[in-house]
Amino acid sequence: MGNNAANDPYTLKCKERGIKIHPARFPAALPEFFSKLLTDPGDIILDPFAGSNTTGAVAELLNRRWLAVDLQEEYLEASKFRFDAMQA
């Protein structure tokens, strides 16, 4: 599971707005696998190192509730782009 997406909505929106792209993104398949394995719909998933919040976006798609925490506010702010893409 590599992470070489350069044209996903999150990356494109960050580039468009001149926002630093989180350097340690991982593919959605990773939190999807563990979310399905370890949780049920309606459960809460906590990501204490959320970064670009891939886990939160996956949790939304899987009908899980989620909490995201990160020391870098700019990463959390940019993570909103993941949810904008889901609305489209």
Q: 68-83: per-residue pLDDT in tens?
A: 999 999 999 999 999 8
What's the rounded mean pLDDT across residues 50-70? 96
**According to DSSP H, which parts of the chain are helical?**
9-17, 29-38, 54-61, 73-87
**Between 7 and 58, whose confidence is greater?**
58
pLDDT reported for residue 85:
64
| Under 8 Å between Cβ of 54 and 26 | yes
Tokens of 80: 């909103």
